[in-house]
Amino acid sequence: MKRPKLNITNTLFLTLTPIISVLGLYFYFSHEVFEWRYVFLFFIFYVATGISITAGYHRLIAHRAYQANPLLKLFYLLFGAAAFQNSALKWAQDHRIHHNKVDTDLDPYNAGRGFWFSHIGWIFFQEDTEMTFDKDLQKDKLIQWQHRNYLFIAVFIGIFMPTLLGWLMGSLVGGFVFGAALRIVFTHHCTFFINSLAHIWGKQTYTDENSARDNTILAILTYGEGYHNFHHKFQGDYRNGLKWYHFDPTKWLIQTCSAIGLADKLKRVPEEEIFRAKVRMQKKRLLQKRDWKHEYLEAVESLRLRLEETQQKFRALKLEYKNLKLELASAKHEKVEEMRLRLQVAKAEFRAAYRHWKLYTRALGNNA
Ligand SMILES: [Zn+2]
Ligand SMILES: [Zn+2]
């Protein structure tokens, strides 16, 4: 096997930024009086660059999970560059390969090669060879423009701008250390956790065909990207945190942008499909138990089928009910009332089937 060559630029950048941050903090605290406004500056740039990676580079450009107004896309491309994680073009292509070849030698950040490799090591050895880019990325003028001017944009927005703002606020050093150096290090490692920890630590709720995990703590650190098992199973969905209470600020941002007309065509995988994957995974885990008793297989399978059937019926009726209500303006209309009753019954049947499934599988030792 060919010995990988060290990428000097990447290695120097990734090792020098933490050193500069520590030295900068020391210099700042020994020469100036600490002021919270620089922490605020850190936070503004941390959120703007981090969410440009998750909502822009990742969900919009790499996965095309929704469409964005050119102004919103431009914001993502400017502040995404300031995160110093490559141009959107290269980032998205690498990420698509990660999804397609996950856990193999072709996966750029293969988690099978250990924590350090998938976290940061792969960037040290990233080759400068020409990549082949997908057609949609090649054709996108804004993405191409950002790629050509990546370094200039990154330095201008990511270093010059916070330093200048710091200077205007009273401390050039404060602006540089908090808004640029330290912020770059934090944004880097939070994103890197998705490639490393989110493939090692957490639950495999929807699939075990790859190493991706759902992890709420990581979701908090990464604007919702920690629901990585869901994401690998349903990569086209604009959400990573499925439930409304799942901490997914990227999803909330996309929904807000959609409400004010900056984003549209938000892709969602049908609930039935997601539910089916979850239940199948629960069954699979049950069957993998060492003390699994084969005589229960038929019962488990019939419960699962009943569950899928009642869920499907409930979802279909819910949609029908919604459409009927829109069609017939009066909510008190006889037909609407009748449909409401049918929906209630279907819901009760689904809930009963789900409860039955949970009790049965729990009794057989599935704690999933
Ligand atoms: Zn992944
Ligand atoms: Zn992805």
Does residue 225 fall inside a structural domain? Answer: yes
Q: How far is the CA of 216 from the centre of ligand 2 (A)?
A: 17
Structural domain span for residue 333: 271-363
The pLDDT assigned to 90 comes to 94
Query: What is the spatial distance between Cα 164 and Cα 44, in angstroms, rounded to a whole number?
Result: 14
Same domain for 300 and 162: no
Q: What is the pLDDT of residues 289-304, one digit of tens each?
A: 777 777 778 888 888 8
The pLDDT assigned to 158 comes to 97
Same domain for 131 and 103: yes
The share of the chain scoring above pLDDT 70, in percent, equals 96
Residues whose CB is less than 8 angstroms from the CB of residue 68 and which lie 6 or more positions away in sequence, other chains included: 56, 60, 76, 257, 262, 263
Domain boundary among 212, 245, 264: 264
The pLDDT assigned to 3 comes to 67
Same domain for 336 and 260: no
Domain boundary among 206, 237, 264: 264
Same domain for 208 and 291: no
The pLDDT assigned to 142 comes to 97
pLDDT confidence of 88, banded at 50, 70, 90? Answer: very high
The domain total for the chain is 2
pLDDT at 169 over 90: yes
Task: Choose the most confident range, by mean pLDDT, from 30-34, 183-187, 360-364.
Answer: 183-187
pLDDT at 14 over 70: yes
Same domain for 177 and 47: yes
Query: What is the spatial distance between Cα 263 and Cα 250, in angstroms, rounded to a whole number?
Result: 13
Does residue 252 fall inside a structural domain? Answer: yes
Does residue 32 fall inside a structural domain? Answer: yes
Q: What is the pLDDT of residues 315-368, one digit of tens each?
A: 899 988 888 888 877 666 778 888 888 999 999 999 999 998 888 888 887 544
Does residue 2 fall inside a structural domain? Answer: no
**Nearest partner of 123 among 82, 83, 91, judged by Cα:** 91
Q: What is the pLDDT of residues 193-220, one digit of tens each?
A: 999 999 999 999 999 999 999 999 999 9
Q: How far is the CA of 220 from the centre of ligand 1 (A)?
A: 17
Q: How far is the CA of 235 from the centre of ligand 2 (A)?
A: 6
Does residue 159 fall inside a structural domain? Answer: yes
Q: How far is the CA of 58 from the centre of ligand 2 (A)?
A: 6
Q: What is the pLDDT of residues 119-163, one digit of tens each?
A: 998 899 887 677 889 999 999 999 999 999 999 999 999 999 999
Query: What is the spatial distance between Cα 229 and Cα 246, in angstroms, rounded to a whole number?
Result: 14
Does residue 48 fall inside a structural domain? Answer: yes
- DSSP per residue, 165-181: HHHHHT-HHHIIIIIII
Q: How far is the CA of 98 from the centre of ligand 2 (A)?
A: 8
**Least confidently predicted of 178-182, 246-250, 284-288:** 284-288
What is the token pair recorded at 195? 């490639």
Same domain for 240 and 122: yes
The pLDDT assigned to 367 comes to 47
Domain boundary among 237, 264, 291: 264
The pLDDT assigned to 333 comes to 76
Same domain for 231 and 119: yes
Same domain for 300 and 159: no
Q: How far is the CA of 260 from the centre of ligand 2 (A)?
A: 25
Same domain for 213 and 280: no
Q: How far is the CA of 199 from the centre of ligand 2 (A)?
A: 12
The pLDDT assigned to 2 comes to 61
Strands (E), the chain: 67-68, 263-264
pTM, full prediction: 0.88
Does residue 3 fall inside a structural domain? Answer: no
CB 283 within 8 A of CB 304: yes
The pLDDT assigned to 330 comes to 65
Q: How far is the CA of 96 from the centre of ligand 2 (A)?
A: 7
Q: How far is the CA of 20 from the centre of ligand 2 (A)?
A: 31
Compute the average pLDDT of residues 260-278.
94
Same domain for 247 and 149: yes
Q: What is the pLDDT of residues 233-250, one digit of tens each?
A: 999 999 999 999 999 999
Compute the average pLDDT of residues 170-193.
95
pLDDT confidence of 100, banded at 50, 70, 90? Answer: very high
Does residue 328 fall inside a structural domain? Answer: yes
Q: How far is the CA of 233 from the centre of ligand 1 (A)?
A: 10
Same domain for 217 and 329: no
Same domain for 96 and 230: yes
The pLDDT assigned to 96 comes to 96
pLDDT at 268 over 60: yes
Q: How far is the CA of 199 from the centre of ligand 1 (A)?
A: 6
